[in-house]
Amino acid sequence: MNYDKLSKEVAYALRHYPREYELELDAQGWVSVDKLLESLRRSDKWSPFEIDDLKEMIETSEKKRYEIVDDKIRALYGHSIPMKIQKKEMKPPSTLYHGTSRRFLESIAKNGLVPKTRQYVHLSEDIHTAILVGKRRDADPIVLKINSEDAYKNGVKFYFAHEMIWLADAIPYDFISH
Ligand code: HQG
């Protein structure tokens, strides 16, 4: 099974278009694994398809995008659906990073970092991840350094996605350098 393709399809279902998959996410983004399996199996592409395929997809992925707990699964970040997924608000590490395209810099300097089509701004604990994120859009991306300690002290809210990825509401440019 092609786990990259499966992961993209699961992202559609759990981050962007749950209704197209006849799924309803709860407030933290969880759905029943059985319902997701049932929904994906409706497409010829993904049948036969078992929970072990989902587990294997999660375990072999370079990125920690999903988690399964008991009989439920959720995406840990990346949502774009209108209903805002509730994330755990937490004090962030003192510095975080955001990799992006150089062509966005002017607008970011003017407007700060904003979530765009997603629900939150995405940040990473390490520069390496930020470079990989930025490379999706620019061969020579720029890495912004976020003074999350000061931002947090000044009321910007941060949320935990997993050990390496943090989420935030909009971040004013005052707390950003590069
Ligand atoms: C930019 C993927 C102009 C922002 C990744 C980014 C990540 C602005 C783009 C995760 C701006 C939004 C999220 C402003 C922000 N003016 N541009 N004021 N503020 N931007 O994809 O952070 O593989 O929604 O810099 O690896 O790139 O799918 O966010 O370039 O972890 O699991 O607007 O998604 O993970 O782009 O990526 P995105 P992102 P997966």
Cβ pair 73, 66 in contact under 8 A: yes
pLDDT at residue 48 in the model: 84
Helix (H) or strand (E) holding 79: none
- How many angstroms separate the alpha carbon of residue 122 from the centre of ligand 1? 7
Where are the chain's structural domains? 3-75, 96-177
Tell me if 3-75 shares its fold with 96-177: no
Domain 3-75, CATH: 1.10.10.970
Alpha carbon nearest to ligand 1 atom 17, residue: 104
pLDDT at residue 106 in the model: 97
Mean pLDDT (the chain, rounded): 96
List pLDDT tens digits, range 86-142.
999 999 999 999 999 999 999 999 999 999 999 999 999 999 999 999 999 999 999
List pLDDT tens digits, range 44-71.
888 788 999 999 999 999 999 999 999 9
- How many angstroms separate the alpha carbon of residue 3 from the centre of ligand 1? 23
- How many angstroms separate the alpha carbon of residue 104 from the centre of ligand 1? 10
Domain 96-177, CATH: 3.20.170.30
